[in-house]
Amino acid sequence: MSHSNFSETAALKQPHSPGSRVEHVFETIVFASRWIQAPLYGGLIVAELLYAYKFLVELWEMVWHVNQQQETVFMLGVLGLIDVTMVANLLTMVIIGGYATFVSKLDLEGHPDRPDWLTHIDPGTIKIKLAASLIGISSIHLLKSFVNIANEDLEHIKWKIFIHMTFIGSAILLAWTDKIMQKERKH
C-alpha cells in the first residue's frame, strides 16, 4: 500500500469530532423529516376516495333521472362528472409524483401499470402538470357556464374567464422557467 493510500484510509477511519457527530445526527433528522409529508399524501388519498364517492352519487342521480332531464341539464351533469374525474387525476398526480419526489422512491420497476411520466418526474414537471390540470378543470367550469349561460351572471363569467387566463399565463411562465432551468443544468 502506498503512503498516500494509507493516509487517505487513515483519514477516513478517524473518529468524527463531536461537532461533526452532532451535525451528522441533525442532518439525519432533517432528511428523515420528509416522512412528515406521508400522512398528508394519505389524506389526499382519502380525499380522492371521497371524490370517487361523489362521482358515483352524481352518476347514479343521472342514471335515475335520465328520462326527466333536458339535454342541457344532462350535458351539465356529464361535464360535472368530467370535472370530478379531472380533479381526481390531479390528486393522483400530486400523490404519486409528490410522494416519489419528496418522500421516498416508489419500487415499481417492471410493474405493468407504472405510469410513463413517473420516470422523468421532478418538482418542475409536477408544477407544469398541475398547471395543465388546473387549466383543464377551469376549462370545464367555463364550458359549464357557457352551456348554462341563460342562468349565469355575466360578471361571474367574466371572472371565470379572467381566472382561466391567469391559469394559462401561469402555466406558460412555469413551462418557460422550467425550460430555462433545464438549459442551465445542461451547461
User: What mean pLDDT comes out for the span 59-85?
Assistant: 90
pLDDT interval class at 94 (50, 70, 90): confident
pLDDT of residue 131: 85
CB 105: neighbour CB atoms within 10 A? 10
**DSSP secondary structure of 32-82:** HGGGGGHHHHHHHHHHHHHHHHHHHHHHHHHHHTTTTS-HHHHHHHHHHHH
CB within 8 Å of 52: residues ≥ 6 apart: 88
Quick: pLDDT tens for 106-133: 888 888 888 777 777 777 777 787 888 8
Quick: pLDDT tens for 12-28: 445 557 778 899 999 99
pLDDT of residue 7: 46
